[in-house]
Amino acid sequence: TQLLEQSPQFLSIQEGENLTVYCNSSSVFSSLQWYRQEPGEGPVLLVTVVTGGEVKKLKRLTFQFGDARKDSSLHITAAQPGDTGLYLCAGPTSGTYKYIFGTGTRLKVLA
Amino acid sequence: ETGVTQTPRHLVMGMTNKKSLKCEQHLGHNAMYWYKQSAKKPLELMFVYNFKEQTENNSVPSRFSPECPNSSHLFLHLHTLQPEDSALYLCASSRTDGQNTGELFFGEGSRLTVL
């Protein structure tokens, strides 16, 4: 069974600090996605990483896919209160349209 | 207008009621999904439909009954639910070009409370 474990589970930081969120699995994924979910809303896609070792940047967010395609990280530089939310990684399981989600990291950025 | 619309946004029902959740996608996608999001648990995949055919039933109790009349509409019929079924029910859609492509686009969810 493919599983995605995220760490940390909760993170509370001050505005302007940097942080990294991790998504790990013992299984290989063809791609991984990162989503952000705000209270009362559905998750919204931030990025998809496909190639092992790939790095993608979205403004102050940097996403990396591990060389072996078993893990990914999300780094936020100079966090802002608007970054507050639940961050989820997700990936498709082999041979199906079934997307599994990680355990989530709940981030709170204090002004 | 968002790409995936869910109604109702909030629903309170008794254990003997029958209700339905509705999802509509305007993105031209061919796959639709129901996920359950409970507190302190990862998003749980419930059902997957691809071109109106159910391709995944993730051991969901029969008190949840999905219906997909076409690629744009998805329903979740609810009957004799239990209080532990209270959760946020999220609908999503995606493209499926080949086997594992297409990011998920979610609706805003239907918050269900079972009394």
Q: What is the pLDDT of residue B2?
A: 65
Tens of each residue's pLDDT in chain B, 115 residues: 569 999 999 999 988 889 999 999 999 898 999 999 998 788 999 999 988 888 878 789 999 999 999 999 999 999 999 999 999 999 999 887 655 456 889 999 999 999 9
**B56/A104 CB distance under 8 A:** no
Q: What is the pLDDT of residue B49?
A: 92
Q: Which residues of B touch A98 (CB under 8 A)?
A: 45, 48, 56, 58
pLDDT tens digits for range A18-37: 999 999 999 999 889 999 99
Residues of chain A with pLDDT under 50: none
Long-range contacts of B48-52 (CB under 8 A, 24+ apart): B48/A96, B48/A97, B48/A98, B49/B74, B50/A97, B50/B96
Give the C-alpha separation, A23 to A76, whole Å. Answer: 14
What is the 8-class DSSP label of residue A17? -
Give the C-alpha separation, A4 to A22, whole Å. Answer: 10
**B45/A98 CB distance under 8 A:** yes
